[in-house]
């Protein structure tokens, strides 16, 4: 019957039994540092799992803001162009305009006055029996010249009948930049401190072991001298 060789565990235990105290301390220190590193990686993974979605959402909003800002710049340029055109049209729009109307004059208001050539001069709009004064009043006009002879042309000023320029463009609204989210920094200091503590303790214990071994060697060397 074939004999089985030592298992991995047995070989490991045998190797450990053959280690010196200092070697055991070194192995223990390496294991503690490795465990601390794994603990830090686990904590950092949990930290990223919590904060990465926040960062991702913020980056998405930043991209949307950048796109909206580009569109806003284009819209703002068009708005400024339209506003300048409106302001020019408004500046060129006259509040009052000059008009002309032909008239003729009759003297007196009745048959006798016309016959004798006496009485007031009454001016009518040519082609109608409408008084010039009434004609101007209906239009809000004011005479600025032209009366003279029996017939002629009256110049008058009146409010501009054409519609005043309008500005109907809507002013574009600037996009609002998203606020930077408050994301806590991953704290590495606790792990750095613990690593420093492990190293300090390791170095102290190594120093104690070496000091003890040196003292033991000195005592062994001193014994033969004492016997003599």
pLDDT score of 113 = 46
Q: Is residue 153 part of a domain?
A: yes
Other C-beta atoms within 10 Å of 156: how many? 21
pLDDT, one tens digit per residue, over 59-104 is 999 999 999 999 999 999 999 999 999 999 999 999 999 999 998 8
User: pLDDT at residue 149 above 80?
Assistant: no
Q: Which has the minimum average pLDDT: 31-40, 137-146, 163-172?
A: 137-146
Asked if the structure places residue 212 within a domain, the reply is no
With 70 as the cut, is the pLDDT of residue 222 above it? no
Report the alpha-carbon distance of residue 204 to residue 136 in Å, rounded: 115
Q: If you ran DSSP here, which 8-state letter would residue 1 be given?
A: -
Is residue 140, in this structure, part of any structural domain at all?
yes
Q: What is residue 196's predicted lDDT score, i.e. its pLDDT?
A: 95
Q: What is the pLDDT of residue 112?
A: 45
Angle, CA of 15, 16 and 19, to the nearest 5°: 95
In a domain, 107, yes or no: yes
CB 51 within 8 A of CB 58: no
d(CA 178, CA 62): 7
Residue 105 falls within a domain, yes or no?
A: yes
DSSP 86-98: HHHHHHH--SEEE
Query: Residue 62 falls within a domain, yes or no?
Result: no
* 213 inside domain: no
Our count of domains for the chain comes to 1
Q: With bands split at pLDDT 50, 70 and 90, how would you rate the model's confidence at 8?
A: low
Burial (CB count <10 Å: 0-12, 13-18, 19+), residue 169: middle
| Close Cβ partners of 86 (under 8 Å, ≥ 6 residues apart) | 165, 166, 167, 169
How remote is the C-alpha of 26 from its chain's centroid? 56
Q: SS3 for 169?
A: coil
Tell whether the model's pLDDT for residue 181 goes beyond 90. Answer: yes
Q: Are the CB atoms for 158 and 140 separated by under 8 Å?
A: yes
- Position with higher pLDDT, 171 vs 215: 171
Tell me whether residue 126 is in a domain. Answer: yes
Residue 192: predicted pLDDT: 95
Structure tokens belonging to residue 160:
């501009």
Question: What residue numbers bound the domain in which 117 lies?
Answer: 96-159
Of residues 1 and 221, the one with the higher pLDDT is: 221
How far, in whole angstroms, is CA 102 from its chain's centroid?
66
């Amino acid at each position: 019957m074939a004999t089985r060789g030592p298992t991995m565990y047995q070989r490991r235990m045998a190797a450990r039994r053959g280690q010196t105290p200092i070697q055991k301390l070194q192995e223990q220190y390496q294991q503690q540092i490795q465990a601390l590193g794994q603990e830090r990686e686990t904590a950092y993974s949990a930290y990223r799992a919590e904060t990465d979605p926040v960062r991702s959402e913020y980056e998405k909003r930043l991209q949307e803001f950048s796109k909206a800002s580009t569109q806003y710049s284009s819209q703002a340029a068009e708005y400024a162009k339209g506003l300048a055109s409106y302001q020019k049209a408004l500046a060129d729009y006259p509040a009052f305009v000059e008009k002309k109307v032909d008239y003729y004059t009759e003297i007196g208001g009745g048959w006798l006055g016309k016959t004798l050539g006496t009485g007031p001069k009454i001016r009518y709009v040519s082609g109608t029996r409408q008084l010039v004064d009434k004609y101007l009043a209906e239009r809000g006009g004011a005479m600025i010249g032209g009366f003279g002879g029996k017939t002629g042309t009256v110049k008058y000023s009146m409010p501009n009948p054409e519609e005043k320029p309008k500005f109907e463009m809507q002013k574009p609204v600037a996009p609002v930049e998203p606020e930077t989210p408050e994301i806590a920094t991953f704290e590495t200091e606790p792990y750095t401190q613990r690593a420093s503590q492990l190293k300090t303790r390791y170095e102290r214990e190594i120093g104690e072991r070496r000091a003890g071994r040196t003292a033991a060697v000195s005592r062994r060397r001193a014994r033969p001298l004492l016997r003599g």
